[in-house]
Structure 1
Amino acid sequence: MNLDFTQHCLPLAAAYVLALPIGWNREREERSAGIRTFPLVALATCGLIQATERLTKDDAEAMARIIEGLITGMGFIGGGAILRLKDSVRGTATAASLWVTGAIGVAAGVQSFDVAIMLSATTVLTLWLLKPLKKFTGTDPADE
């Protein structure tokens, strides 16, 4: 039995910290998922990758199947954040953010920290910087 916690601390902490700004944005926008949900999603996906390391150490296909399952699960969770109203759909940005947060956790779990950082940064920039452009599209920012 291997109880070396230190090798898992950095990826788990990175996943958690990189998801916080995304959760903060969704919280400030008063969306269905926010400051608690996003770090937990990243932590869970990272943890699942790490928990299966011994099972998949010499089998890239096995790891690919685990990642495929996580991607599918994140799509399912994200689908729950989307609401269809009379003539509009809400929650698509939150759903997409949940999906990318799962990817951040996976990237941190396989220690691709450069990918995790880029995913987090581009998601945060997209959510914050592109929001004002919604005014020019003729759609209400509350619709996302």
Structure 2
Amino acid sequence: METGVSIDWAQVVESLVRVVVAFALAIPVGWERESGTSSAGLRTFPVVAMAACGYALIVKTMPDATADSQARLLQGLLAGIGFIGGGAIVKNGSNVRGIVTAASIWNTGAIGASVAYGREEIAIVLSLLNFLTLLVLTPLEKQLHDPVEDDDVEQ
């Protein structure tokens, strides 16, 4: 019994590779966030990149996709990822936490979309710079905000 559905296996493999690349490029960011006190981590970031890549691949490969329809998809994707990132932001009095995690979630969506559109060089740069920012600037920021008081230093 034939269903009339034809599967383009070359397209399946290409899509699989793109989704896996997006997933892999988000792992360093998720790993860094997981090692801290972030509410999002090793699972969240790769899944966001994978989903963003998947949505972008859907519209990119639609037979009647126009530049306008692709722009609308990316606009919706950015808004949706922003909503997810908003869930990582917690306000307690005058203290706000999670903004860097939210921005990293948003960036991870851009990584996934970049891979979907064949712009792996952009995805690699975004992943690398996000990871290095978290790895290097987080300890520096803590040091700047929590300086050792002179009274606490033994003489």
TM value normalised by structure 2: 0.84
Q: Give the aligned partner of residue 96 of structure 2.
A: 89
Aligned residues: 140
Q: Give the aligned partner of residue 3 of structure 2.
A: none
State percent identity of aligned pairs.
Answer: 41
* Superposed CA offset, 1:84-114 (max 9, x none): 0122100011000100000000001111000
Evaluate the alpha carbon distance shift between residue 52 and residue 124 of structure 1 in structure 2; reply closer, same or farther with a 3 A threshold.
Answer: same
Q: After superposition, where does 1:119-130 map in structure 2 within 5 Å?
A: 119-130=126-137
| 2:86 aligned with 1:79 | yes
Q: Give the aligned partner of residue 43 of structure 1.
A: 50
User: 2: CA distance between counterparts of 1:56 and 1:126?
Assistant: 39
| Structure 2 counterpart of 1:92, one-letter code | I
Q: Give the aligned partner of residue 12 of structure 1.
A: 19
Evaluate the alpha carbon distance shift between residue 54 and residue 132 of structure 1 in structure 2; reply closer, same or farther with a 3 A threshold.
Answer: closer
**3-state secondary structure, aligned to 1:55:** coil
Q: Give the aligned partner of residue 28 of structure 2.
A: 21
User: 1: CA distance between counterparts of 2:137 and 2:63?
Assistant: 39
Superposed CA RMSD: 1.7
* Superposed CA offset, 1:108-141 (max 9, x none): 111100000000000000000111221343269x
Contact residue 56 and residue 63 of structure 1 kept, 8 A: no
Q: Give the aligned partner of residue 68 of structure 2.
A: 61
Q: Which consecutive unaligned segments of at least 5 residues does structure 2 have?
A: 1-5, 148-155
- Measured after TM superposition, the shift of residue 48 of structure 1 is 0.7
After superposing on structure 2, the runs of 4+ consecutive aligned residues of structure 1 that deviate more than 4 Å are: none
Evaluate the alpha carbon distance shift between residue 107 and residue 31 of structure 1 in structure 2; reply closer, same or farther with a 3 A threshold.
Answer: same
Q: Which consecutive unaligned segments of at least 5 residues does structure 1 have?
A: none
Select between 55-64 and 13-22 the one with higher mean Cα deviation.
55-64
- Measured after TM superposition, the shift of residue 52 of structure 1 is 2.0
**3-state secondary structure, aligned to 1:74:** helix
| 2:116 aligned with 1:106 | no
